[in-house]
A = this chain, B = another copy of it.
Amino acid sequence: MRDIAVGLIGSGYIGKTHTIAYKAHTSVFGGPANPVCTALADAGQARADEAATRLGFGRAYGDWRDLVAAPDIDVVAIATPNAMHKDMALAAIRAGKHVYIEKPLALDAREAREIAAALEGTALVHMLGYNYLCNPIIGTLKALLDAGEIGEILHFRGRHNEDYMADPATPWGWRCSRALSGSGTIGDMGSHLISMAMHLVGPVAAICGDIQTVIAERTDGTGKVRAVENEDQAHALVRFRSGAMGVFESSRIAQGKKQGLAFEIVGSKGSVEFDQERMNELRLYDAGAPAGRRGFKTILVDTSCPDFGAFCPAPGHGLGYNDLKVIEVNRLMRAITDGAPVPVNVFDAVVIEEVIDAWLASAAGRSWIDLPPGA
């Protein structure tokens, strides 16, 4: 089995999630390739050294450009704040590396398109970290939608709400800065929702958003009061290209929600519901059941769901959040080895960025915005 040398940029929360997934991958899936934690880069050699030792990487770079330039690296994984994605991705692509980029792809669609343009004509693998799509029960859900099990999709309502910024005393951070983060909750969590909606219902044709910054100022780590420059909560009306109606919602100040990606899809013959806080369950309503036997059925993950059997043969012995990343890494390995498609590639992510931009612009203009036909 072939080793794939991974160079990871960034060693925070999501960098550790990457690492756990690389290390676990082959014991779970047994192939088709083995991701190796070859090198790690972070800001400054000391910090990089510490992280490489702590997480178990072979070597450390204090400057990510050196990692990108290293000839033995096969994949550059980018797990840094949004504003750094574009330069890192462009450099990696130019160095002929496969890229595995955390979401959102970039600060906006313009940046995203720049990255996409650099990939044109290359054979490089490119994948975004929209890990929630890798959930085996989402695989089952997608399959039943595609099989028409709930008929024609008429309605989608989704939210990705969390409360990690609900406390006004939570410090100002890079996610509050337009320059460092781009949008606020929409890019951070709304992008997960958009990726899920597009995966399940298809492209968005038009959007009409509403956004709000509720906590206008926060104190940063140095004690300085700084403006929050992007939205805390966001709503949107949506029309999908299929004709289905939708509602999107995202918030980083929604008290009580911890991993609050949840949605409902109504079809002409049934409905489905999902909540990431109970990520091993799917609720399915089949309108064709006989009278007195209709109701939402709570289905637990089992080996009939894609990828689940690699973790455990026993039904209902659920997966965790980190396991989704292990599946995502397996998609990357399969793409590199066999050319298999990835859940969200850079071209898909450009469309997500276009929806984000339109959400923001429609909110600013208090009007609907039609997405371009290619979106």
Given A54-B30, A155-B233: A259 touches B318 (CB 8 Å cut-off): yes
The yes or no answer to A218 lying at the interface (CB within 8 A) is: no
Given A17-B312, A312-B322: A251 touches B54 (CB 8 Å cut-off): no
The yes or no answer to A284 lying at the interface (CB within 8 A) is: yes
Interface residues of A in 255-305 (CB under 8 A from B): 255-260, 266-271, 277-280, 282, 284-285, 287, 289, 291-300, 302, 304-305
User: Which of B208, B258, B322, B368 is the one whose CB lies under 8 Å from A316?
Assistant: B258
Q: What is the distance, in angstroms, from A342's C-beta to the closest C-beta of chain B? A: 22
Q: What is the distance, in angstroms, from A263's C-beta to the closest C-beta of chain B? A: 13
User: Which of B27, B168, B278 is the one whose CB lies under 8 Å from A55?
Assistant: B27
User: Which of B23, B254, B319 is the one whose CB lies under 8 Å from A24?
Assistant: B23
The yes or no answer to A227 lying at the interface (CB within 8 A) is: no
User: Which of B30, B208, B270, B320 is the one whose CB lies under 8 Å from A320?
Assistant: B320
Q: What is the distance, in angstroms, from A34's C-beta to the closest C-beta of chain B? A: 9
Q: What is the distance, in angstroms, from A258's C-beta to the closest C-beta of chain B? A: 3
Q: What is the distance, in angstroms, from A39's C-beta to the closest C-beta of chain B? A: 15
Q: List the B side residues contacting A157 at CB < 8 Å.
A: 159, 249
The yes or no answer to A90 lying at the interface (CB within 8 A) is: no
Q: List the B side residues contacting A245 at CB < 8 Å.
A: 210, 212, 233, 235
The yes or no answer to A180 lying at the interface (CB within 8 A) is: no
Q: How far is the CA of A20 from the CA of B26 in the complex (A)?
A: 9
Q: List the B side residues contacting A321 at CB < 8 Å.
A: 311-312, 314, 317-320
Interface residues of A in 196-239 (CB under 8 A from B): 208-210, 212, 214, 233, 235-237, 239
**A251 with B237: CB separation less than 8 A:** no
Query: What are 17 sample pairs from A and B whose C-beta atoms fall under 8 A apart?
Result: A20-B28, A22-B27, A24-B24, A30-B55, A140-B292, A154-B233, A155-B254, A166-B268, A247-B249, A255-B285, A256-B270, A259-B317, A284-B295, A289-B297, A292-B305, A298-B298, A318-B321
Q: List the B side residues contacting A16 at CB < 8 Å.
A: 27
Top 3 A-B residue pairs of the complex, sorted by shortest distance between their CB atoms: A258-B316, A320-B320, A256-B285
Q: How far is the CA of A27 from the CA of B367 in the complex (A)?
A: 48
Size bracket of the A interface: 35 or more
Q: Which residue of B lies closest to A290 (CB)?
A: B304
Given A277-B318, A287-B167: A239 touches B259 (CB 8 Å cut-off): no
Q: What is the distance, in angstroms, from A256's C-beta to the closest C-beta of chain B? A: 3
Q: What is the distance, in angstroms, from A207's C-beta to the closest C-beta of chain B? A: 11
Q: Which residue of B lies closest to A150 (CB)?
A: B255
Q: How far is the CA of A166 from the CA of B152 in the complex (A)?
A: 12
Q: List the B side residues contacting A314 at CB < 8 Å.
A: 13, 162, 164, 258-259, 321
**A277 with B299: CB separation less than 8 A:** no
Given A157-B249, A235-B247: A19 touches B13 (CB 8 Å cut-off): no
Given A296-B298, A320-B318: A255 touches B247 (CB 8 Å cut-off): no
Interface mask (A147-180 → B, CB under 8 Å = 1, otherwise 0)? 0001000110101011110111000000000000
